[in-house]
């Protein structure tokens, strides 16, 4: 979980450090500054977001807690990748 104004460089650096491709990452964002990070990730999830971000996300979630993330992704069978880590930008 990160708290940065520009999270995409963090995603790229984390992938490089862990020797993995960004397509193995689930990025969760809640505002437009998260769009570059979400575009880099293999799966982009919008969480309690504005319309613009929701339209560009793979999946959007407006529930109260993130603990339903895996349940939602499993139910929709949207994850066809084996994610190595999840990056959530908390701002």
Count structural domains, the chain. 1
pTM of structure: 0.72
CATH code of 31's domain: 3.40.50.1000
* 40 is a domain residue: yes
Contacts within 8 Å (CB) and 24+ apart, 65-73: 66/28, 69/28, 69/45, 73/26, 73/43
* 79 is a domain residue: yes
* 2 is a domain residue: no
Sequential pLDDT tens for the chain (91 residues)? 666 777 888 888 888 988 888 888 888 888 888 889 889 988 888 888 777 778 888 888 877 676 667 666 666 555 555 555 556 665 5
* 32 is a domain residue: yes
Q: So what's the pLDDT on residue 46?
A: 86
Q: Can you give the residue range of the structural domain that contains 66?
A: 8-88
* 1 is a domain residue: no
* 3 is a domain residue: no
């Amino acid at each position: 979980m990160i708290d940065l104004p520009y999270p995409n460089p963090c995603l790229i650096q984390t992938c490089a450090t862990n020797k993995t491709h960004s397509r193995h990452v689930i990025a969760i964002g809640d505002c437009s500054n998260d769009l570059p990070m979400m575009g880099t990730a293999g799966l982009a999830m919008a969480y309690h977001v504005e319309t613009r971000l929701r339209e560009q996300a793979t999946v959007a979630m407006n529930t109260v807690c993130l603990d339903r993330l895996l349940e939602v992704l499993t139910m929709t069978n949207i994850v066809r990748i084996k994610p190595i880590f999840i990056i959530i930008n908390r701002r």
